[in-house]
Chain A
Amino acid sequence: KNEVEQSPQNLTAQEGEFITINCSYSVGISALHWLQQHPGGGIVSLFMLSSGKKKHGRLIATINIQEKHSSLHITASHPRDSAVYICAVRFNFGNEKLTFGTGTRLTIIP
């Protein structure tokens, strides 16, 4: 079965801490997306990656294809980073469909 698992489900940290959110998946993929959803808001795409590492500001996303695992890191976390972070993958044999994790709710305390 094609599955996506995220950990942790909930994460609370102090402002300034280094944050890591994990995503693992069951079978081969063509792409992995990291998305951000603010409370009551829409969903914004942060990264799309199929190998290696991408960086945008304080956000870093990495993927290890052999281990079927991706991480999203936030450096120098800030209260405005508080949101739900969602991992979604396009499985190799899932044609046009994305399969989503259940999300990680991140709360950064000032």
Chain B
Amino acid sequence: NAGVTQTPKFRILKIGQSMTLQCTQDMNHNYMYWYRQDPGMGLKLIYYSVGAGITDKGEVPNGYNVSRSTTEDFPLRLELAAPSQTSVYFCASSSRVGQSEAFFGQGTRLTVV
């Protein structure tokens, strides 16, 4: 029972580089989310998706892009990485809105230098 799987676990990027954070879930969940966690702050929503082909911006979408071509996968793309994107990123999924449990990946610790 894999749940939500994120890769990579750690990454160091140089300013201006690009990368994709991978997220996949095997629970057939419709809802998927990307969050970032900065020291001393609550998790902030970057983007979310309510099903394949449907994505929407969260609180802090600037500098990121997402796609949702399948139910299982929800990759997060960073274009032109900046030091402000140094953070820990979490992918999560849930079966529906409201009364359902949220499942989180193990996180990706990203440093932009």
Contacts and interface: CB of A to CB of B under 8 A. Distances in A.
Interface stretch (B13-21, B35-43, B65-73): B35-43
Interface residues of B, number: 25
Contact of B42 (A45, A90, A102): A102
A41 B102 contact: no
Contacts, number: 61
Contacts of A44: 104
A100 B44 CA distance: 8
Secondary structure of the B contact surface, majority rule? loop
Interface residues of A, number: 24
A102 B31 CA distance: 23
Interface of B: 31, 33, 35, 40-45, 48, 50, 58, 90, 92, 97-107
